[in-house]
Amino acid sequence: MKPVKVGICGLGTVGGGTFNVLTRNKRDISARAGVEIDIIQVGTRRGNSACDLAQTAVATDIFEVVRNPEVDIVVELIGGTTVAKELVLEAIANGKQVVTANKALIAEHGNEIFARAAEQGVSVAFEAAVAGGIPIIKALREGLAGNRIEWLAGIINGTGNFILTEMRDKGRAFDDVLQEAQELGYAEADPTFDVEGIDAAHKLVILASLAFGMPLQFDKVFTEGISKIAPEDVAYAQELGYRIKHLGIAKQTAAGIELRVHPTMIPEKRLIANVDGVMNAVLVKGDAVGSTLYYGAGAGAEPTASAVVADIVDLARSLTVAFEHRVPALGFHPQGQNKSPNILPQSDVETAYYLRLLAEDRPGVLAQISTILADANISVEALIQKEPQQDAPQVPLILLTSRAIERQLMNAIEKIEALSVIHGEVTHIRVESLG
Ligand code: HSE
């Protein structure tokens, strides 16, 4: 059988990792694919000091790779959504199979890309776009194919999880941890993508699209970052038996589909609450299988390369089948059975809440707060009030509420903030049991 020929575009962190893993494990990888896999060309301007390119043709123009008639599989690892999109569309037009780790590209332009790929009868594989080395795309596409997915919740940004973990365990400052994540190659080129939840939203929309068989709708994801999490909230969460994690949540409810990324308090007894550092985890609830948890490194050169290589192996296998017998696009694209899903606005989403407020320490204050909540049909499930510090006129009050529709909770918060006995803004963090 003719070897399958791979061209890699981009030799940064993930490109370098992919080159090295494919080169180092070539024998085993080819045996698993059932066909020899050769990297025949790399497109890179700067090279990568971690890679030995002595035996490999290098093009400084990455478009040479997609135009090379010898290349069967184009691996796009340049990132970004402009040149990368052009590159992928040209590769598809030239009849190449495509592998990409580019979550922004898939989340924002996937619908167009998959449509073009289907027209050309080629596949675009994107395992590495979500949760680095965890084979979560395969889990949804293959292992859980018999289920109706009810919901999924994931720690899908390693940088954010690393920051929250270091802040909790070592009391480190936010900026200092972020800088370390950048030095370790975990963070995005623009690290606000990590801390403001955009990166997680890109990944969530891909997972939701596969889970619920719907088009990618990045603009419908509600996104809130971690930059406002205060050390006292981390401490109070712990006191209440919870941890704060930055979660991406997708859920089918009777009212519609929820797509949201935000800091979330989850019971510390849940396995996912104990996923720390740069590690990622995705919890998926299927109607047949129940809860399943997938855990692993969500960023970094070789963990991400592991997912890229898995896709290369899949596509190489498909190339050993005659064209007319290939499964169109290998099911890598969303199945599309749910073409116009109703995505709920965040104001319609129902969760429980953690509230922290600063109140004057005098009789009747608690009664005023609980009256406002009761009027909105929200009950208080737990309450912490600390003794006032010496001479301090105000005390922090911590409340856990029952589940409530977000619009009603926000109205209640507005009324609480308007009370003369309440100082400053009311902090709110959504609470999920994930049971
Ligand atoms: N910046 C991303 C993260 C890299 O921290 O998870 C992997 O997508």
Check 96, 103, 203, 285 and give the catalytic one: 203
pLDDT bracket for residue 121 (50, 70, 90) = confident
Question: 186 alpha carbon to ligand 1 midpoint, in Å?
Answer: 5
- Per residue in 68-82, pLDDT (tens digit) is 999 999 999 999 999
Identity of the highest mean pLDDT range in 295-299, 325-329, 406-410: 406-410
Indicate whether this model's pTM tops 0.85: yes
In order of start, what are the domains of the chain with their CATH numbers? 4-133+301-325 (3.40.50.720), 136-297 (3.30.360.10), 348-431 (3.30.70.260)
**Orientation of helix 103-120 relative to helix 198-212, angle to 10°:** 40
**C-beta neighbour count of 109 within 10 angstroms:** 18
Distance, in Å, from the CA atom of 19 to the CA atom of 302, rounded to the nearest integer, reads 10
Q: Which of 13, 183, 188 to mutate to test the pocket of ligand 1 (most atoms within 8 A of CB)?
A: 188
- Pairwise pLDDT comparison (354 vs 183), residue with the higher score: 354
Q: Given this model, what pLDDT does residue 333 score?
A: 52
Which atom of ligand 1 lies at the shortest distance from residue 181's CA? 5
Which atom of ligand 1 lies at the shortest distance from residue 129's CA? 8
Question: 20 alpha carbon to ligand 1 midpoint, in Å?
Answer: 20
Distance (Å) of CA 118 to CA 76, 160, 163, 320, 419: 18, 35, 40, 19, 59
Average of per-residue pLDDT across 127-150: 95
- Per residue in 245-261, pLDDT (tens digit) is 999 999 999 999 999 99
What percentage of the chain has pLDDT greater than the value 90?
82
**Orientation of helix 301-319 relative to helix 26-33, angle to 10°:** 40
| Ligand 1 lining (C-beta closer than 6 Å) | 132, 157-159, 186-188, 194, 199, 298-299
Which atom of ligand 1 lies at the shortest distance from residue 299's CA? 7
Q: What is the helix (H) or strand (E) element at residue 104, kind and residue range?
A: helix 103-120
Question: 105 alpha carbon to ligand 1 midpoint, in Å?
Answer: 14
Q: Given this model, what pLDDT does residue 361 score?
A: 87
Average of per-residue pLDDT across 271-294: 97
pLDDT bracket for residue 204 (50, 70, 90) = very high
Q: Given this model, what pLDDT does residue 172 score?
A: 84
pLDDT of residue 187 exceeding 90: no
Q: Which of 186, 246, 306, 308 to mutate to test the pocket of ligand 1 (most atoms within 8 A of CB)?
A: 186
Question: 3 alpha carbon to ligand 1 midpoint, in Å?
Answer: 33
CA-CA-CA-CA torsion sign (10, 14, 17, 19): negative
Using DSSP's 3-state secondary structure scheme, residue 86 falls into: helix
Distance, in Å, from the CA atom of 291 to the CA atom of 175, rounded to the nearest integer, reads 35
pLDDT bracket for residue 331 (50, 70, 90) = very low
In the block, tokens 């308007």 appear at: 418
Q: Given this model, what pLDDT does residue 1 score?
A: 83
Could you report how far apart the first and last alpha carbons of the chain are, in Å? 50
pLDDT of residue 336 exceeding 90: no
Q: Given this model, what pLDDT does residue 328 score?
A: 54
Q: Establish whether 203 is a catalytic residue.
A: yes
Question: 247 alpha carbon to ligand 1 midpoint, in Å?
Answer: 14
